Amino acid sequence: MEAALRVTTLPGPFGAAVDEIDLAQDMSDDTMRRLIGLLHEHQILAIKGQSLTNADYVRFGYKWGKPLAFAMQNHRRDDHPEMIRITNSAATPARYRDGAKHWHCDSTYEEVPASVTMLYGVEAPAEGGETLLASTSLAYDALDPAMKDRIEGMTGLHCLGGSPELPGEKIPFVPEETARHGIRKHPMVMRHPVTGRKSIFTSGTAFGAEGLEKDEGRALIDTLRRHITRPEFTTSYKIEAGDIFLWDNFQTLHSATAIEYSDEDGKRRLLYRISTKGLPDLCREAIAA
């Protein structure tokens, strides 16, 4: 029987929200199939009004794939290393501030990029803290046929800190980290592993394309990224306490916005991120069937 969920579309060109669901009571296969289907259809999904223990949140994370081990160990919780702490504490060193304030998708500096990222809102500031999102599948659909032909089968080159939008002093990784991760290759046109829908896969780590001269590759990436971030393909979402907000990394770019770093009441933000790799077990069953 299909799980009963109340689904609304978010303002903007894409995105959905669900409420009247309590994941602490119901992470059944029926419910998870609906949620996974909604994310794949709408690219971003807000699940409102949740109150989960850390153990339950991690259990929810595993429903989407295998949680990745984040590069920055000091951002993980000791008791649940799958959970990555994101705060705006005034104690945050300057080099770690606003590190996600550029258009990207997650872990594209690794051989296997993240497939889904989720953020659980524990505290949210009264003002600010929105996340910007761009639909790379809507943007792909709107490309002119000549550009679709040009990038079909092309391989993008990626490295940590590859984004031209990141001022050098704010790259929140030490150079050894960048060297360790090296250059990664990902298809420029991503076919969604579950739905087959195509999207443009140019994260903030993309700096060129295989077979193109450096400047030509850079110019192509810039053109595609300007296209993806046009207003008709972008939206924003503010994560409130009790939200679990998910994005499909194969179909979106995201960017943090500037936030005030403060420990004052009404200004604090605490989010727990889990990013997964691979497919949900439920999708593997569906594909195998």
The structure tokens 């490309």 sit at 143
Among 98, 106, 243, 248, indicate the residue that binds Fe ion (CB under 5 A): 106
Q: Tell me how many helices (H) and strands (E) the chain has.
A: 7, 16
* Residue range at the interface with Fe ion (CB under 5 A); choices 30-38, 104-112, 146-154, 182-190: 104-112
Report the nearest approach of Fe ion to the CB of residue 146 (Å). 31
Residue 36 CA to residue 205 CA, distance in Å, equals 27
Among 105-113, 143-151, 193-201, 213-221, which window interacts with Fe ion (CB under 5 A)?
Answer: 105-113
Least distance in Å: CB of 44 to Fe ion? 13
Give φ, ψ of 34 to 5 degrees: -65, -45
Residue 118 or residue 200: which is nearer to Fe ion going by CB? 118
The encoded tokens of residue 179 equal 């060297």
- Minimal CA–CA distance to 257: which of 289, 235, 285? 235
Residue 31 or 255 having the CB closest to Fe ion: 255
Give the interface segment with Fe ion, choosing from 56-64, 95-103, 167-175, 181-189 (CB under 5 A).
95-103
The nearer residue to Fe ion, 98 or 106, going by C-beta atoms, is 106
Nearer to Fe ion, 33 or 238 (CB): 238
- Tokens matching residue 105: 């998708």
- Least distance in angstroms from the C-beta of 188 to Fe ion: 20
Give the E-state strand segments of 221-269 in sequence order: 234-238, 244-248, 252-256
Q: Which is nearer to Fe ion, 113 or 280 (CB)?
A: 113
Alpha carbon distance 241, 49 (integer Å): 8
Query: Between 100 and 142, whose beta carbon lies closer to Fe ion?
Result: 100
Kindly state the smallest distance separating residue 106's Cβ from Fe ion, in Å.
5
> Helix, strand, or coil here: 34?
helix
* Cα angle, residue 60 at apex, residues 55 and 64 outer, rounded to 5°: 140
| Minimum distance, C-beta of residue 183 to Fe ion, in the bound complex (Å) | 20
Shortest Cβ 134–Fe ion spacing (Å): 13
* Residue 281, amino acid: D
Stretch that binds Fe ion, among 6-14, 103-111, 172-180, 221-229 (CB under 5 A): 103-111
Tell me how many residues contact Fe ion (CB under 5 A): 2
d(CA 100, CA 258): 9
Residue 154: half-sphere exposure toward Cβ, Cα within 13 Å: 23
Of all residues in this chain, which one has the CB nearest to Fe ion in the complex? 106
For residue 253, list its beta bridge partners: 134
Q: Which residues contribute to the site for Fe ion (CB under 5 A)?
A: 100, 106
